[in-house]
Chain A
Amino acid sequence: MSEPSVKTPPAGIIPRTLARARRVTFLTLVCLGTLLGTWLMIRFLQVSEGYRNAKIGLLICFVPLFYQLNSGFWTALIGVWLQNRPKDDPTDLWETIEDDDGPIDASTAIIIPVYNEDVSRVWEGLRVTFESLQKTGHLKNFDFFVLSDSDQTNKWIEEQTAWLELSRQLGAFGKIFYRHRRKPINRKSGNVSDFCRRWGKRYRYMIVFDADSLMSGALMVAMTRIMERNPGIGILQTFPKQVASETLIGRLMQFAQSLYGPAFMAGLNYWQNGEANFWGHNAIIRLDPFIQHCALPPLPKTVPFGGHILSHDFVEAALMRKAGYSVRLLNTIRGSYEEGPPTLIDTLKRDRRWCQGNMQHFWLLFARGWHFMSRVNFAHGVLSYVSSPLWFLLLVFTTWLAATPGDVIRDGPAERAGHLLLGLTATLIFMPKFVILLDEMVSGRVFKPLKLRMLALLSSMLDTVIFTLMSPVMMWFHTTFVFKIITGQGVKWVAQKRKLDGVDWREVILTFGGVTLLGIAWGIVAWMISWSFFLWLSPIFVSLTLAIPLAIWLSSGKSGQRFGLFLSPEETEPPAVLRELETNLAEVKGRLQLPPEIERNYGLMQVCLDPYVNGLHISLLRRRKNTQDSSEYLDEIADKLIQQGPQALTSREVNALINDTETVTDLHYRLWSATEHDLAPFWSLAIKQYNLAATHPFTHLLARKNPPLAPVST
């Protein structure tokens, strides 16, 4: 495709005058709000009476924080206004397509990069997506790629068997593909680039999934049509809604996202226009410009938190925009879903990764050639984490000023400025929620039945309390993350936990013990300063002090669902894809389980014992020539595996074995040929138990659909 011309922008690129008018409106409102707040703060601090360092420090922290508050406030308010505006939005992408648009010409790859993920969830998710697409009648235009970087042997083998079984059950050989990389170079972005290099030319678009993503076929078909009709769009991002949470924190996020999310998205769409962000998944990408322009350059290793870019999505969006294509946000209420972390600790672990990625964007802020809005997006990303240390410092300066009042004498205007500032801050924090709730009460936009709207009102009040308690804890952890990242303590790439498997009290106490002590100490200091300051600061130190019970409560299954609290439309009226996924996963969970020691090494056991899994693994493995030394080494560890069991081997040894075709073939026969006496107890038990659990379906991790569907014509 030729690149969009500057003079006549192709469909999908918002006219420059309109985009500029919207941006100017938004930024003017935000800047005026920030200026007003800053002026009130200057008046309140009586900076002119004496330039104490603490005052200046407090002011420096205050300005970006107030900017951020204003930015959220105006985004939400503009969003609510847009939702209620009788006139259609001229930039609405849904208006560019019609229901009966006929056949699609474009070929689209749906890619699912995975890294040691829950195999059942990934492949059952793929199954319902596949079937949902099949129902639209457009399946022939879509291929699926599971791109694995899993380095845990068991996960790898289970992924292979899941691919085989699902393709067999759905008759989808030639539609669903599986690729495993031995070396996960450049992590997820490297995984996606590898796909682009190998198969990118075959497809016009790719839809990127996360391991926990789920999308309806109808939405994917619509996205493809929108891309076809709007050649100026490079990336089209949907609004993925968080679903399937079981814990309080997960359901709280789900509820908040359902109720407040659409207004924020509408507002974001208003001022971001064609320079929106890519969030890494649940989006469709035009492959040709992506391959040409969006390869990620590494950051210099000499700068702090440099090297490989972790949060690749923002950068890819900026590169796409730089290449002349727009990045658009698609207003989606249904059809695009993801899952969130189940506990507070898992949320923090995820935030730590994101924090490092966003901090890296600091170096890109000043790079040459970005669109102005791409710089704004980078700055907002950095600020979303830097705001925590700024808030923390603001509180420290406040405590210091309260403890050493010095020559500060409050006069009438300063008092009034303080009261006004407090009122303005409260308005900026609570007004968007209030307005969105009011809109919901009147319009029933999210919940139609009155009872559900009332429950949403109650839930919203409760979530305000819970988020108020959570915020100082998050602030403290984000502050430590920023500090650690600046001092060069990087993050490891770990698989994200997406389901609750019990609250680990020890981990909670160890993680939040320090925060509790900080809260108590701060409370004592505040008490010693004055009673009024103690009361003023109480929301902060009370939250910090209660961090341990709060973390346990948030991570528990007592999420208020029984009382109808924190409901989301996906819970009250689950869409077909979610309903089917839940049914399938329940069936998988209900299946016969093997003894725990076998379950832990299920993949390894399968590849060694099962003739089909063994054959599959060897077929998918790249054949290499072994040297004499490596053959001896592999023989040695194969003996150890047979005689002592998998627990005697390091993960590196297991990996070495499993990557060698000859050794894997030999192991299969050597294990079956060994006498009871020569086998480790693990293998004796495995040989006896395996056939009980693995008759049908092929892998115990997947539910089987009967009868298998007819093969798909490609």
Chain B
Amino acid sequence: MEAVNIQFAPATGTDQEWNEAYARLADYFRSYRLHNRIRRTQLVLESLRRASDAHMKDPSRKPVALAIDEARKMMHDWLGTVYHDMHLTEPQIEAGGRLGFYISDGPDRWPLHFMDRNFVPPEMSGAMREAVRTSGPSLQVSKMTPRDMDLGFTHVAEGTFEGFARQPWMRYTVLAVFVTFVFFYVYRLLQ
């Protein structure tokens, strides 16, 4: 790990601006679940140091923006070394890389090597590379096509009559009921 110079005296910008940048960086690195305060402080100071250099070159930008920019560059460079031969696009390295660090339990297992370009333990880089995931297993596409459904009433009637045709006892029952009904009705009329 690089030695960190804790002397920080920016040539440009106000104390208030650099304090804001410091507070923001502290929050930012905390959002990475880095519970190792020493490592967090090292990263904050390193980012601030780089940001102060950048501010001298371009004082129009706010120190807080430059500080986060530098942190992003440091992260990008570090992830580039971890995933260098995996043929990932820049956005994949940036998004997937962060995620890989988390999935491999990086914040708890290797906090001191987070964003350390000089030395990444092989176990750590192996776990991070292994952890690039997708949202599902590989597709195995199948067709699921609705079949036509005939909702027609006429077909039902047809089907019913076909059913009757196959069952003689049903035909005779219906005939018997019909004949009985007719006789009963005639009988009532004659009363």
Contact = CB atoms under 8 A, between A and B. Distances in A.
Contacts of B68: 669, 672-673
Contacts of B131: 173
Nearest 9 A/B pairs, CB to CB: A618-B95, A615-B98, A615-B99, A297-B146, A295-B146, A673-B65, A615-B95, A201-B140, A366-B156
Contacts of A696: 33
A193 B144 contact: yes
Interface string B79-95: 00000000000011011
A145 interface: yes
Contacts of B72: 669
A372 B62 CA distance: 77
A589 B24 CA distance: 30
Interface string A661-676: 1100100010011111
Interface string B93-137: 011111100110100000000000000000000000001111111
Contacts of A687: 24, 27
A628 B143 CA distance: 37
A198 B95 contact: no
Interface of A: 143, 145, 164, 168, 173-174, 177-180, 193, 196-202, 291, 293, 295-300, 363-364, 366-369, 609-612, 614-616, 618-620, 623, 661-662, 665, 669, 672-676, 687-688, 690-691, 694-696, 698
Given A177-B137, A366-B156, A672-B24, A196 B142 contact: yes
Interface residues of B, number: 51
Nearest to B150: A368
Contact of A695 (B20, B33, B151, B155): B33
A300 B148 CA distance: 11
B86 to A, nearest CB: 14
B153 interface: yes
Contacts of B30: 691
B63 to A, nearest CB: 9
Q: Which of A193, A661, A691, A698 has the most CB of B within 10 A?
A: A691
Contact of A673 (B64, B98, B139): B64
B142 A197 contact: yes
A291 B149 contact: no
8 contacts: A145-B136, A168-B102, A200-B144, A297-B147, A367-B149, A368-B155, A611-B98, A673-B68
B31 interface: yes
A295 B151 contact: no
Given A193-B144, A696-B33, A614 B151 contact: no
Interface in B147-172: 147-153, 155-156, 159
Contacts of A614: 95, 98
Given A178-B136, A619-B96, 8 more contacts: A173-B131, A199-B140, A293-B147, A295-B144, A299-B151, A614-B95, A615-B94, A688-B27
A32 B103 CA distance: 67
A519 B147 CA distance: 48
B77 interface: no
A198 B148 contact: no
A366 B153 contact: yes
A620 B99 CA distance: 11
A200 B151 contact: no
Contact of A368 (B98, B137, B156): B156
Among A180, A616, A623, A696, which residue has the most Cβ atoms of chain B within 10 A?
A616
A199 B134 CA distance: 14
A173 B137 contact: no
B145 interface: yes
A691 B141 contact: no
Contacts of A620: 134-135
B136 A291 contact: no
B103 A691 contact: no
Given A611-B31, A661-B91, A674 B65 contact: yes
Contacts of A698: 33, 102
A179 B69 contact: no
A364 B91 contact: no
B144 A179 contact: no
B144 A197 contact: yes
A196 B65 contact: no
Interface centre among A164, A177, A368, A615 (most CB of B within 10 A): A615
Contact of B144 (A291, A368, A623, A662): A291
Nearest to B68: A673
Contacts of A616: 95, 99
B130 to A, nearest CB: 9
Given A196-B144, A674-B64, A665 B156 contact: no
A691 B134 CA distance: 27
A615 B152 contact: no
Given A368-B159, A669-B68, A295 B147 contact: yes
A204 B153 CA distance: 37
Contacts of A177: 135-137
B27 A691 contact: yes
Contacts of B35: 695
B103 A164 contact: yes
Nearest to A294: B144
Contacts of B155: 366, 368
A459 B75 CA distance: 65
